[in-house]
Structure 1
Amino acid sequence: MCTRVLNNLNRKYIATARNMDWMFPLPTSLFTFDKGLNKIGMPISDNKTDNEKALKWCSKYASVVAMVGDEQSGWASSDGMNSMGLAANVLYDCNATYAKDQPCKEGQLSVLRWVQYVLDNFVFVKEVVSEFEQQKIELVSADVPNSDGKPATLHLSISDVTGNSAIIEVYNGQFYIHSKDEYVVMTNDPSYDKQLKIDAYWKWQWSDENIAASHTIPGGPFSADRFERALFYISHMNAPTSHDEALAQAKSVVANACVPLGYNVQMTESPNISNTLWTTLVSHNEQKYYFSNARTTNTVWVDLQTFDFNEPVKRLDMVTISSANQVINNSYEGQVNELLTPVLDPYSPNLFIPDEICRIGA
């Protein structure tokens, strides 16, 4: 489920591509958030003590985020970019485990709000790494919205305008971080340290040091197959000479890691293989965020450099699911800055009181 590829072959033109794979369609919307907004790391509870435990912050940067869910089932930040060109993506990780009510933690953060916290607060990968190396935050489990109670077991990838990269995994409530600019591909399982060991074998297969070098790659839909296939292509490319070429390369590589719609392996046989629902692309230096629904022929994008934040939070529904369980794939095309409409902030500590103090002080 899911593949992420970072194209940092030319540091003037950085692009990140990501496939979102899931076992059935999910309602999905693009949200834009202005900077200077009060945020809370957990859903508001009737229990005052629970609210006091939640991590709270004021966003430093604007962002555009692909969110799954709706008002009834809640929202989950799946993928996005901030106004400084930092990209964050959460992918399925069946090995992830979260410990509850850990001592000496400074605040609780729902795994569904992990992406938003990162985009709101940081510019560079090294800053994110420093934050989570301190083990101060308690990441709290939650269910994927509109997914019949399936747990959101996730790990995080981040990439920035310098071409740096990191993968953050969580086991028993502790963060395990892999950060190098050469860590450009991420899939689902096994854990990233094991993926790197598998990768060492394939790199030996491709190396000229191997007298019987084989430039073959695995062709299956499994996580390790997709990991090596994407890494093979991104490692055998010429450096791009423009933003458009960097995006096109990243898009074509991640397309080779898609699981086609209609692929009918039974989930009971392969529970970690799902169809690709949509793909996002980030042009880091341009602050442009692209969204492509697998069930439509169009690609849309939000340009954060020219976005009009006349309202603090806006939304555009890309995929909706009706009360009759009918999936509606909304078909837009091109830049959609003007199509997003004002909504309440789903991550505000109080949805009904404007965040004027935070906004004025930002």
Structure 2
Amino acid sequence: MCTRVVWPDAAGAVLVGRNMDYHRDTGTNLWRLPRGLEHDDGVGGSLHWTSRYGSVVAGAFDMMSVDGMNEAGLAGHILWLAESDYGTFDRSRPALSMAIWLQYFLDNFATVADAVQWIDETEVQVVPLGDPATGEVPAVHLALDDATGDSAIIEYIDGRPTVWHSREYLVMTNSPTYDEQLKLLKDVEGFGGTKPLPGTTLAADRFARAAYYVGRLPEPKTQVEAVAGMFSVIRNAAQPFRIPDPDKPYASQTIWQTVADLTNKRYVFDSTTRPNVLWIDLDKLDFSEGTPAGKLDLLGDTSLEGGLAGNVSSRFEDTAPMQFLTLQA
């Protein structure tokens, strides 16, 4: 159910990688969203804003931002957390629908510190929305990271945001909650304990392996070596394709992976079902206010020969902006 890892010292660059693990395809396409887009909170509340920063995001079903980075070098990543408790929706509080939660930060902030300050000041509520196709209601937490190497994990427990903010918080997986993950890591050899480095796909085991290997990456000589190094870590934490166990019919597998170079503004995407690595250089995109949004159709890219691969910065098709899922009145 997903892994996120930050490499804060990749020869002067900050890189972050993530696995998207899920039990079914998420209909993911990539989107180019310019400055100047008008958005609202999706729940009929008081939050309305105009995007200050352009961004490239990976969408789920073209209705929800689940991963991405903006032109200032702030990135965000939605991962599963079963313990999430968003509380009862209180219309008197500032709130964001889960579908646009990540996008709010990419639209409005350049640094993790500024985003965390806003969360502390507002205690913004997150409102979960059911998948219109299945009715499944996700339970998720959010990681933010930026080009300075700063990092934060935001979890909702008992209806309020708990923010873990530190440059030391390089890894995030899933259950249990982040404080418990940090405690479990201390039991592992190399982090103060005596247990050998674990090898299963359980969230705590992936957490330990990712933390171990990201701290032992060799210094890269090039940007390509840096991206390759990060891929080596997140692939070690990936979940292979497998037939579901009878007692785990919704067991996840890694369906795609991303590596974002927050310093050099490069976003790399790798599907596990179509092994063509592609990347986008944000500095080559026009995010000017008034320019149209763009969509990179990954669902139609089914060919290994002639399909999307390499630098695809120029291959976004102009389109209307993503329409985020909203709370139905």
Q: TM-score, normalised by structure 1?
A: 0.82
SS at match of 1:119: helix
Query: Aligned equivalents of 1:329 and 1:109: distance in 2?
Result: 38
Query: Aligned equivalents of 1:120 and 1:185: distance in 2?
Result: 24
Q: Which residue of 2 aligns with 1:138?
A: 125
Matched, 1:59 2:51: yes
Offset, 1:239: 3.7
Match of 2:298 among 306, 318, 329: 318
Q: Which residue of 2 aligns with 1:37?
A: 37
Preserved CA contact (<8 Å) 2:280 2:312: yes
Offset, 1:270: 7.0
Preserved CA contact (<8 Å) 1:10 1:241: no
Offset, 1:264: 2.1
Preserved CA contact (<8 Å) 2:125 2:161: no
Q: Which residue of 2 aligns with 1:218?
A: 198
Matched, 1:249 2:229: yes
Matched, 1:120 2:104: no
Match of 2:272 among 282, 289, 294: 294
Preserved CA contact (<8 Å) 1:88 1:159: yes
Preserved CA contact (<8 Å) 1:298 1:332: yes
Residues 292 and 97 of structure 1, relative CA distance in 2, 3 Å threshold:
same
Query: Aligned equivalents of 2:119 and 2:132: distance in 1?
Result: 25
Preserved CA contact (<8 Å) 1:76 1:145: no
SS at match of 1:251: helix
Matched, 1:80 2:72: no
- Bigger mean CA offset, 120-129 vs 236-245: 236-245
Matched, 1:266 2:242: no
Preserved CA contact (<8 Å) 1:60 1:121: yes
Residues 338 and 237 of structure 1, relative CA distance in 2, 3 Å threshold:
closer
Offset, 1:345: 1.7
Letter in 2 for 1:97: D
Matched, 1:230 2:210: yes
Matched, 1:155 2:134: no
Residues 150 and 328 of structure 1, relative CA distance in 2, 3 Å threshold:
farther
Query: Aligned equivalents of 1:267 and 1:182: distance in 2?
Result: 38
Residues 30 and 9 of structure 1, relative CA distance in 2, 3 Å threshold:
same
Letter in 2 for 1:125: V
Letter in 2 for 1:234: V
- Alignment root-mean-square deviation, CA: 2.3
Offset, 1:116: 0.6
Offset, 1:229: 1.1
Identity, % of aligned positions = 32
Match of 2:168 among 178, 182, 187: 182
Query: Aligned equivalents of 1:82 and 1:180: distance in 2?
Result: 20
Preserved CA contact (<8 Å) 2:41 2:48: yes
Q: Give the paired residue count.
A: 321
Residues 65 and 318 of structure 1, relative CA distance in 2, 3 Å threshold:
same
- Provide structure 1 residue ranges, at least 5 long, that are not aligned to the other structure: 43-49, 321-326, 350-362
Preserved CA contact (<8 Å) 2:11 2:221: no
Offset, 1:129: 1.0
Residues 110 and 224 of structure 1, relative CA distance in 2, 3 Å threshold:
same
Q: Which residue of 1 aligns with 2:308?
A: 332
Q: Which residue of 1 aligns with 2:2?
A: 2
Residues 206 and 162 of structure 1, relative CA distance in 2, 3 Å threshold:
same
Preserved CA contact (<8 Å) 2:171 2:207: yes
Preserved CA contact (<8 Å) 1:29 1:319: yes
Q: Which residue of 2 aligns with 1:308?
A: 286
- Provide structure 2 residue ranges, at least 5 long, that are not aligned to the other structure: none
Query: Aligned equivalents of 1:267 and 1:79: distance in 2?
Result: 31
Query: Aligned equivalents of 2:311 and 2:219: distance in 1?
Result: 27
Query: Aligned equivalents of 1:243 and 1:76: distance in 2?
Result: 30
Letter in 2 for 1:195: Q
Query: Aligned equivalents of 2:88 and 2:254: distance in 1?
Result: 32
